[in-house]
Structure 1
Amino acid sequence: MPIHFYLRTTYCLIAAVFFLSMIAAIPANAGQKPLEDRPMDFALVHDGNCKETCIRWISAEGAITSNTPKQFKTLLRSLKGRKFPVVFQSYGGDVDAALSIGRMIRAAGLETAIGRTRLNDCPMLEPRCAQKIVRNGWSVGEVHAGGAYCFSACPLALAGGKVRAAGITSDIGLHQITNGRKNSGYGTAGRRNLDAISTRSDPVLKRMLSIYLDEMGVSRDDVFAMMGLATPEGLYRVQNAEALRSGVITKVFSDTEEPGYVSHVADPQASEDVVE
């Protein structure tokens, strides 16, 4: 038994040294924002050369900003009616922008999913690296639902899909909206208030969200309750059963499924620019 322990310890030490050396070998960029702080961008991605069959999707990753709807509108116009699922991975961001994106998704008849995109030849620690995103064309990579996340305002944008899916191990999170300085006694951490969906009581904001969630077929009462269970700094982790019951998602991927549309025939446009 002591011999096995010694070998396991030695192996762990070797693995740790190897991992640290790999991190040290990656050039640091002091001016580069953390992944979660980078503005959301969109990329058309497929997983092969599409000569026979491939999977295609719209990868949407990063923080949702006031400029994100404009970028998404440009992408939709470039697709000229072709439909691909929008696969989100985001820590959230601007609520108004998320609602705008969700409405555009619904109007275009697109599906949504939570998923993480890895582009070919990107570094291990930056799987969706900017240098491998093909602007005005198709990037090549793979997509997985497992381990992906959609937090804060992201589930609002996700709600735009008529079909909205998550993996068994995807992570969905909701919290109160930061809309100014917290009112005294309103939704404090010490006394939960399920009506407290924001840091300040704001009937206009609540009505705006209610109208949107009703449009998308999502239970406003369930969503508001989950938001009220978290503080603006915290996060309420939504379980798959809760997400399905509330309508935040309509489908859970099985172990053999992943986001994206499978095309079984050649599509010459799949490797061509889509913006005129």
Structure 2
Amino acid sequence: MKLSSPLLLALTALLTSVFLLAGSGEAATKKKQKQPEPEQSVYDQPLRVVVVRNIIGNCEPLCPQWISAEGQITARSPAVFRKALAKIGDQKLPVVITSPGGDLDAALAIGDMIRKRGLDVAVGGTHFGGCAPFQKSCKLPKEQKGIYRGFVVTQQGFCVSACPMILAAGAHRFGGPENYIGVHKISRVITREKVRYLERYLIVNGKKKVVSRKIVSRKPMKSQISTKLDKRLEKKLVAYLKKMGVEPKLLALFDRAPPSSMYRLMGDELRTTKLVTDSTPSADLALVGRCLAAPPAANCVAVKETAKP
């Protein structure tokens, strides 16, 4: 994710205007070319999950591939992730993730899918070459079979809020000092409502037996946000972390920051909690050299070369 300063944007606009003034009259009369669609910030869009094949270096027909997961984790994200997993079949592709977090239950569901498949998870960003999934006009060539082209950028990766629960699910978990991995208190919205209902009952042998119950009205009461970890939720999270091989003491670090802020997990905390098991940069998972080794890495996928006319 690249952030441009106001000064940089102003200089870019100035240079563009100078270029246009310096152009020939013939060039000015040409039809205005369609500008490429800008990349959407992962803060602004729900989790997009696609399969990507390395575009750097001459690796064909055997190249590294990975699952790129970028964006906010929503209630729909598990279904999106499940669709991507169905696409790769039994391939062991690493998940390269960048996310500002979101729905905790959805993150846990995705984590269960990843662990069931025995996939690795790495914090990193994906830069797309040519057609990109955030472009509405993007139409992949048929021969690519729904697989995008790109490369992994370690420095663009971050994983915060609910995202570390997905990272925790990796068979191997990659994250280094280049990545921002952070947590904060888990917040829950508690909503109460006043319900009036009509109940019909009989007294049988001195005991009340309900015959029917019909709701007459519902009146929402005031909602409130709670950061107190419910015992049932705490038990669920502890069981999840233990299953993934991550120390449950990670949960104590969530209390270091309120929901409106973020506590960055440092190297020793990532190692001692076992949230990260390997500091290898995520970009290394997409290196061509992985496919030149004997045997090649599990995420090296061969494709049939198209016969040239």
Shared fold by TM > 0.5?
Answer: yes
Partner of residue 184, structure 1: none
- Retained in 1: the 8 A contact 2:100–2:160? yes
Which secondary structure state, in structure 2, belongs to the residue aligned with residue 242 of structure 1?
A: helix
Corresponding position: 1:238 with 2:231: no
Q: Give 2:119's aligned amino acid.
A: L
Q: Give 2:245's aligned amino acid.
A: G
Q: For 2:37 and 2:133, how far apart are their aligned partners in 1?
A: 17
Partner of residue 192, structure 1: none
Question: Which residues of structure 1 form unaligned runs of 5+?
Answer: 1-12, 182-197
Q: CA deviation at 1:136?
A: 5.5
Which secondary structure state, in structure 2, belongs to the residue aligned with residue 37 of structure 1?
A: coil
Partner of residue 160, structure 2: 151
Trace 1:115-154 onto structure 2 (pairs within 5 A).
115-121=124-130, 129-131=134-136, 132=138, 134=140, 137-154=146-163
Q: Give 1:37's aligned amino acid.
A: D
Q: CA deviation at 1:225?
A: 1.8
- Retained in 2: the 8 A contact 1:118–1:128? no
Corresponding position: 1:60 with 2:102: no
Deviation string for 1:151-199 (max 9, x for gaps)?
A: 0010101111110101331110101111026xxxxxxxxxxxxxxxx61
- Retained in 1: the 8 A contact 2:51–2:84? no
Q: CA deviation at 1:200?
A: 2.9
Deviation string for 1:220-249 (max 9, x for gaps)?
A: 11x122101110111000112211111111
* CA RMSD, 1 decimal: 3.4
Trace 1:174-189 onto structure 2 (pairs within 5 A).
174-180=183-189
Trace 1:61-140 onto structure 2 (pairs within 5 A).
61-121=70-130, 129-131=134-136, 132=138, 134=140, 137-140=146-149
Partner of residue 206, structure 1: 234
Normalized against structure 1, the TM-score is what?
Answer: 0.74
Q: For 2:15 and 2:164, how far apart are their aligned partners in 1?
A: 35
Question: Which residues of structure 2 form unaligned runs of 5+?
Answer: 1-5, 18-33, 191-225
Q: For 1:137 and 1:117, how far apart are their aligned partners in 2?
A: 16
- Retained in 1: the 8 A contact 2:122–2:173? yes
Structure having the higher Rg: 2
Q: CA deviation at 1:65?
A: 0.9
Q: For 1:22 and 1:218, how far apart are their aligned partners in 2?
A: 51
Which secondary structure state, in structure 1, belongs to the residue aligned with residue 52 of structure 2?
A: strand
- Retained in 2: the 8 A contact 1:102–1:158? yes
- Retained in 1: the 8 A contact 2:42–2:100? no
Partner of residue 19, structure 1: 12
Q: For 1:201 and 1:146, how far apart are their aligned partners in 2?
A: 33
Partner of residue 193, structure 2: none
Which secondary structure state, in structure 1, belongs to the residue aligned with residue 80 of structure 2?
A: helix
Structure 1 residues 270 and 204 mapped into 2: Cα distance closer, same or farther (>3 Å)? farther
Q: CA deviation at 1:75?
A: 1.7
Which secondary structure state, in structure 2, belongs to the residue aligned with residue 44 of structure 1?
A: strand
Structure 1 residues 260 and 33 mapped into 2: Cα distance closer, same or farther (>3 Å)? closer
Q: For 2:73 and 2:133, how far apart are their aligned partners in 1?
A: 17
Normalized against structure 2, the TM-score is what?
Answer: 0.66
Structure 1 residues 260 and 106 mapped into 2: Cα distance closer, same or farther (>3 Å)? farther
Deviates more, 1:74-83 or 1:150-159: 74-83
Q: For 1:142 and 1:83, how far apart are their aligned partners in 2?
A: 18
Deviation string for 1:87-130 (max 9, x for gaps)?
A: 000000110110111111011010000001010147xxxx8733
Structure 1 residues 16 and 268 mapped into 2: Cα distance closer, same or farther (>3 Å)? closer
The one of 242, 245, 252 equivalent to 1:217 is 245
Structure 1 residues 179 and 21 mapped into 2: Cα distance closer, same or farther (>3 Å)? farther
Partner of residue 8, structure 1: none
